[in-house]
Amino acid sequence: MYKVMLVDDDYPVLEFLSEMINWEDLGLQLQSVHGNGLSALIEAEENMPDILITDIGMPKLNGIELTKKLKEIDPSLLVAILSCHNEFHFAQQALKLNVQEYILKDKLNAEEIVQLLRQFVETLDLETKKKKNQLRLVTTIEQNKGWMLERFINRTIHHPIHSEDVWKEEAQLLGFLPNQNYMVIFCFIDHYQTVIQSFRSTELVHFLVHNVITELMSGEHINAMHGQFYQNESFLFVPLNQEWDKETKKIKNFLQMIQETFQETFGISLLFEMGRPAARPIDIKEQMVNLIDLKDSRNRINNEIANACKYISDNIHRKINLEEVAQYLHLNSSYFSRLFKKEVGETFVKYVVNMKMNRAKELLDQTNYSIIEISELLGYDNQSYFNKTFKGSEGISPIEYRNRLYKREMKI
């Protein structure tokens, strides 16, 4: 229902309008009645009516001033002025404020007021329908904008840029600013298939990622654009000013906030790769392609290291050297050595020793194998060398480790 506010310092008029009109039948709600303009203004600032019926001559704040102030808050407010005055200058002021009706009190007629209110309701219905259509249009445009941006991103990556002017023209339609430096950021979902199985819909996941990032950008007043690229991958374009260092720090903090939001709220691990600032179409394209290649390269490296670690685990019962594993992976041994240390955080030899020592502790804890049998199970030909390696890793000999465990069990 639309809300109506009555304002008049003449109580009989308020009583007449309140009781003689069946507001609900008209699809209206009589929100409130007021004996002066100031009281009406105070309420309207908290609870704005759709229709105002007001007297002109009132204490504290007259009807013209009240109308003016409320129109400043909501220009679409519908107003009918009641007055005992028929002087032209009052009607003139009302017209300047786009007042819909000017009614003389001495000609006040309930049926005429009802007819006026019906017209007001029709006007409000049309306005409501218009707003709904506008909202639907904006929603459609935004949905198409996402689809258009996705196509734009794919064309930029997969096809040559024959004309920078044409590229810029399309980019501006999608929200890119002309001659603006952008930080290009590649976004991707870790363990994508697991996420899809959890949400059971690729469309839902893509919708979720886009809308949450967009809402967070809006909340942080970051005028960036986010567009889908392929399955679990999308791009974020963040405009930069000249203070790139400060902006880059701000962007990193923002990306961390996005990651925390997705992890804590949805259990989704969203990862990012940041490029370098770029403004020219060819430079933006280069950053996008480089970021995709970087991610693919890291995936390949991660797979190689994962395969190496599995190979070590599967062959922990015998001697293993770096050259053997590098050959298994078809990699140069020097390159593999550097790669392994960079990705795992320790040298190949130390990793293998730690794996063997962890396995040795399991055997000492859970089996009755002798120390020499355990050393042989882990590929050591010499028990004394095994003892020395174990003590260097754990600070005590294998027999001391087992005896300490035995003593703890005896106490229990």
323 and 289 assigned to the same domain = no
169 and 107 assigned to the same domain = no
Any domain includes 301: no
Confidence at residue 68, expressed as pLDDT on a 0 to 100 scale: 87
254 and 340 assigned to the same domain = no
Residues of the chain above pLDDT 90, percent: 33
CA distances for 52 relative to 58, 93, 356, 358, angstroms: 15, 16, 84, 81
CA distance 165 to 176: 13
Query: Worst-scoring range by mean pLDDT, 44-53, 82-91, 352-361?
Result: 82-91
CATH code of the domain containing 107:
3.40.50.2300
Task: Tell me whether strands 2-7 and 28-34 are parallel, antiparallel or unpaired.
Answer: parallel
Q: What is the DSSP letter of 140?
A: H
Q: Model confidence over 229-249: pLDDT tens digits?
A: 888 889 999 998 877 777 888
CA distance 101 to 113: 10
Whole-number CA gyration radius for the chain: 38
CATH code of the domain containing 353:
1.10.10.60
Q: Hey, what are 181's tokens?
A: 């430096």
User: Are 183 and 248 spatial neighbours (Cβ–Cβ below 8 Å)?
Assistant: yes
Confidence at residue 237, expressed as pLDDT on a 0 to 100 scale: 94
166 and 284 assigned to the same domain = yes
User: Are 389 and 401 spatial neighbours (Cβ–Cβ below 8 Å)?
Assistant: no
Total number of domains in the chain: 3
Helices 88-96 and 63-73: angle between axes, nearest 10 degrees: 10
C-alpha count within 13 angstroms, C-beta hemisphere, residue 259: 14
Q: Calculate the CA 23 to chain-centre distance.
A: 44
Single-letter code of the amino acid located at 317: H
271 and 198 assigned to the same domain = yes
Range of the domain at 363: 315-411
For residue 28, count CB atoms less than 10 angstroms from its CB and return exposed for 0-12, middle for 13-18, buried for 19 or more: buried
Q: Model confidence over 282-341: pLDDT tens digits?
A: 999 999 999 988 887 776 667 788 888 889 999 999 999 999 999 998 888 888 898 888
Q: Looking at the predicted structure, is the pLDDT value of residue 96 above 70?
A: no
